[in-house]
Amino acid sequence: MQNCLVAQSGGPTAAINASLAGVIRGVKESAAYDKVYGSLNGILGILEQHMIDLSETICTEELLQGLTHTPAMYLGSCRFKLPDYRDDDSPYSFIFKQFERLNIGAFFYIGGNDSMDTVLKLSEYGTAIGSKVRIVGIPKTIDNDLMITDHTPGFGSAAKYIASSLLEIAHDTFIYAVKSVTIVEIMGRDAGWLTAASALARNEYNTAPHLIYLPETNFDKDEFLSDVTRLLEKQNNVIVAVSEGIHDAAGTYISCGESIEDTFGHSQLSGVGKALEYLIKDNISVKTRSVEINVLQRCAAHLASETDLSEAFVSGQKAVTFAEAGISGSMVVMKRTGDAPYTIEYEHAAIKAIANEAKKIPREWINASGNDVTQPLIDYLTPLIQGEPTIPFKNGIPCYLDVSHLLSGIGY
């Protein structure tokens, strides 16, 4: 029997370890694979030979459950872009030698768009050298911007956190009988899925967020000020949900402070909330504050969506099944097969159509004025945040899996 290797990459989510747990379960149930190794810090762990035997580390059902509920990457992450193998095949030849050394039959990479670039490159190199190692991607991103799949594991939990937080911020806001504007800044550079999820905070008594601005449309300063002014005429508190990636018609980001490019050439943004806060303070005489929904939107496992965790887990299991069936150069995708009740099926899609692409919100799911979402988007989002997992607590705080193995190595 051959073994498997799995790694995690990109930014944290509350569900990425559920997919890892799904892979471990999948390998355990597989007739084709024996052990499952985990590479620490993504693909870097193979290059640096930092690998652990997950069949030994996660050896009980209790540990597997604990892993499922633990936020961020149990195996650590990396932001590492492989070179084109036609320019430099040295990392590739090293990686495939490790595959051989550990008798790896399948490699699973759990990640988002950039991680799927790694899956694509490894599978192309594998094909070129005639390797039989299956390379399968498992989707993960709070951004929900992967192509083909109906949605991405990790998104539902972030969406649930954002909707719940927005409702709590609304309760916090309504207490003063004075006019006020609250700007809530939400992650999302190119796609507004997460910010759109703030609309799920609306219920029988809460109409907030009253305005929603997404990167899919152009942001107009004057229209924004007029939207806010109009609302303040009929109500005391205006709550605005805004994506970090909003930009004007010229494509310039609305944000404060410097813009720094990361490894993948993306601008690192911050401060659109502050920028809008100052804009309102300068133009409308009203109490204004901005709240940045910080990194907790991607790591608050205590408020994960059970639907999300369960789908993430099954995605991991399916990756093993697909590899066993000979699938490679592909990513697990979810296809929505029903709305009432909500049902999905798991399939696989060629990685070439997924890597480095980003799925945006369709224009018709945003209202004409570009300041709210429409009902079909709410209907699409609602099933994804359903269900509350039972998270164990110990001594008053959530009880997650020990990740001290990530702390032992001093840097790459």
Active site residues: 143
* Minimum separation from the CB atom of position 299 to a copy of itself (A): 4
DSSP state of 284: S
Using rule CB under 8 A, residue 382 touches a copy of itself:
yes
- CB-side exposure of 213: number of CA atoms within 13 Å? 26
Which of positions 340-369 make contact with a copy of itself (CB under 8 A)? none
Count residues contacting a copy of itself (CB under 8 A)? 69
* Minimum separation from the CB atom of position 407 to a copy of itself (A): 6
Using rule CB under 8 A, residue 237 touches a copy of itself:
yes
Using rule CB under 8 A, residue 376 touches a copy of itself:
no
Which of positions 285-344 make contact with a copy of itself (CB under 8 A)? 291-296, 298-303, 305
CA angle at residue 207 from 227 to 304, to 5 degrees? 115
Distance of CA 342 to the CA centre of its chain: 21
Distance (Å, whole) CA 397 – CA 390:
13
DSSP state of 37: E
* Minimum separation from the CB atom of position 402 to a copy of itself (A): 4
The 13-52 site mask, x for binding a copy of itself (CB under 8 A), equals ---------------------------xx--x--------
The piece of 111-119, 213-221, 362-370, 385-393 that touches a copy of itself (CB under 8 A) is: 385-393
Which of positions 186-225 make contact with a copy of itself (CB under 8 A)? 200-201, 203-205
Which CB, 81 or 171, lies closer to a copy of itself?
A: 171
Which CB, 177 or 249, lies closer to a copy of itself?
A: 177
Tokens of 222: 């004057």
Which CB, 47 or 323, lies closer to a copy of itself?
A: 47
Please write down the long-range contacts of 117-121, taking CB distance under 8 Å and 24 or more positions apart: 117/81, 117/82, 117/355, 117/356, 118/9, 118/42, 118/43, 118/80, 118/81, 118/82, 119/329, 119/331, 119/351, 119/355, 120/329, 120/351, 120/352, 120/355, 120/356, 121/82, 121/84, 121/85, 121/92
Using rule CB under 8 A, residue 258 touches a copy of itself:
no
Which CB, 175 or 249, lies closer to a copy of itself?
A: 175
The piece of 98-106, 119-127, 369-377, 398-406 that touches a copy of itself (CB under 8 A) is: 398-406
* Minimum separation from the CB atom of position 307 to a copy of itself (A): 8
Q: How far apart are the first and last CA of the chain?
A: 32
Which of positions 53-92 make contact with a copy of itself (CB under 8 A)? 70-73, 76-79
Distance (Å, whole) CA 15 – CA 111:
11
- Give residue 259's region: left, alpha or beta (phi > 0; psi -120 to 50): beta
* Minimum separation from the CB atom of position 253 to a copy of itself (A): 18
* Minimum separation from the CB atom of position 381 to a copy of itself (A): 9
Tokens of 167: 């409702």
Distance (Å, whole) CA 241 – CA 269:
16
Using rule CB under 8 A, residue 167 touches a copy of itself:
yes
Which CB, 118 or 165, lies closer to a copy of itself?
A: 165
Tell me the DSSP string of 108-168. Answer: EEEESHHHHHHHHHHHHHHHHHT---EEEEEE--TT---SSSSS-TTHHHHHHHHHHHHHH
Which CB, 278 or 346, lies closer to a copy of itself?
A: 278
Task: Provide the residue type at 94 as one letter.
Answer: F
Among 81, 128, 176, 353, binds a copy of itself (CB under 8 A): 176
Distance of CA 220 to the CA centre of its chain: 28
Which CB, 365 or 400, lies closer to a copy of itself?
A: 400
Distance (Å, whole) CA 397 – CA 173:
27
Give the interface with a copy of itself as residue ranges (CB under 8 A). 12, 40-41, 44, 70-73, 76-79, 160, 163-165, 167-169, 171-172, 174-179, 200-201, 203-205, 235-237, 291-296, 298-303, 305, 382, 385-388, 393-398, 400, 402-404, 406-407, 409-412
